[in-house]
Amino acid sequence: MTNLESIKCKKLADDIADEVALTPNLYNAIVSTPREIFSPIQKYAYTLDAMPISGDQWISSPLTVAKMTLALECENVDNILEIGCGSGYQAAILGKLAHRVFSVERIEKLANEAKNRFKILSIKNVHVRYDDGNLGWRSYAPFERILLSCACKQVPQKLFSQLKDGGILVAPIDNGKEQFICQFYKNGENITQKKLEKCLFVPLLDGVQS
């Protein structure tokens, strides 16, 4: 990362910290992750805005990324499943906090582009799969944490089945009028839900797009 990128990343982390209470590790993850490579418009890469990317998808606001990451409580966990890799920025941040990240993307072009970005950045603990996110990634389950970077009315039961007992799943839940970041905790057969705050995400869709 260049000196200019480092300065921009630190300012971004500071801007986010003005809005939400970041943990030291999350702050450092943001500072050490160049955002320009993930951004479709480089001059806006370090703003707090969401931006459109290919496939009618969006790269989330860095502020939203921070809020979702905090809700996931994922520092030092072994493995995380992310549904909806998109540009890969959220997965890159998670990769600085957890040992392994497995990210599923249903749009082939986005999956390939994310893989290439991780290769360029020498990020080796984030793994991307081109597949239907509703199916999860069974071969690496159970996951200590699961993050949905796309909104749904109900979390697919198949994803809860891949969540480790005692694990946390975070998802944007759409009630038809509004979306809320929700935190789900799995205790045996019981799933408890906690509504956190309003958000706006693209929908979780079925199937794949080549």
Rg, the chain, Cα only: 16
Annotated catalytic residue within 32, 39, 54, 60: 60
Phi, psi of 173 (to 5 degrees): -105, 130
As given in the structure block, the two tokens for residue 45 are 């890469």
Instruction: Give DSSP secondary structure letters for 63-127.
Output: HHHHHHHHHHT-TT-SEEEEE--TTSHHHHHHHTTSSEEEEEESBHHHHHHHHHHHHHTT--SEE
Which run of H or E residues covers position 161? helix 157-161
- 60 in catalytic set: yes
Distance CA 88, CA 36 (A): 12
Distance CA 71, CA 166 (A): 15
- In which residue are the tokens 């944490």 written? 145
Distance CA 109, CA 210 (A): 7
Residues classed as catalytic: 60
